[in-house]
Amino acid sequence: MTRGGRTKNKDEAERRCIVSRETAPRTGLIRFVVSPDGLVVPDLAEKLPGRGLWLTADRSVVEEAIKKKAFAKAARRDVTVPGNLAELLENALAERVVNHISMARKAGHAVAGFEKVKSWLAEGRARVLLQASDGSERGKGKLWTPEGGRWFGHLTSSELGLAFGRESVIHSALAAGGLATRVVEDATKLAGFRRIDGGNTASGKDKTTI
């Protein structure tokens, strides 16, 4: 059982953050490894060999880790940490989210455009609503978070556009499935590096994990 009383499954394995020293579900942390030459390398896919060093997916935690030399202490050796690590992580996470959405689109599990998204929401097909951070707040407020689903607004219109092969996209939605789960996991981590003032601009604020 987790501390919240839920039954854990294999996807909710916990890891300890090297800064806070608190354990949390793996999906909310970022794994790092130290290369043979001592460079701290983010392992967003969690596939690189070596002992994993875990950090809570949050810009302030990453900056604190650099300031307090947490990587060197956890690795028990001298390491080199990129000074712009937080920025590198933000860009890499955004790229992963865009790539996952693009894959979902090619599989027929994602749509873009206000009317198509609204239709998917009304039909109950949408499980994740994504809206551009630089889109009109009035326009975004006319759509709603899928019941039991998620909303994210941390990609720009040009980034969402890349996922759909367009110059820009304001509204998009994903159907349930493995790709949606990947988007949710990486978009949640990205949210720790891109704060959106005011929170969810879509109607309803259901944050249930799919």
| Domain-terminating residue out of 82, 105, 140 | 82
Question: Does residue 26 form part of some domain?
Answer: yes
User: In Å, what is the CA distance from 100 to each residue of 35, 80, 93, 174, 178?
Assistant: 27, 30, 11, 10, 10
Structural domain of residue 156, as residue ranges? 87-191
| One domain, residues 73 and 146 | no
Span 32-49, pLDDT tens digits:
999 999 999 999 999 999
pLDDT (0 to 100) of residue 181: 95
Helix 178-191 and helix 85-106, axial crossing angle in degrees, nearest 10: 160
67 residue type, one letter: K
Query: What CATH number is given to the structural domain containing 37?
Result: 3.30.1230.10
Same domain, 119 and 160: yes
Q: Is residue 197 part of a domain?
A: no
Choosing from 36, 53, 82, the residue where a domain stops is 82
54 is a domain residue = yes
Per-residue confidence (pLDDT) for residue 6, from 0 to 100 = 35
Residues 111 and 159 in one domain: yes
Number of domains in the chain: 2
CATH of the domain at 104: 3.30.1330.30
- Cα(181)–Cα(210) distance, rounded to whole angstroms? 7
Its pTM stands at: 0.87
115-126 tens-digit pLDDT:
999 999 999 999
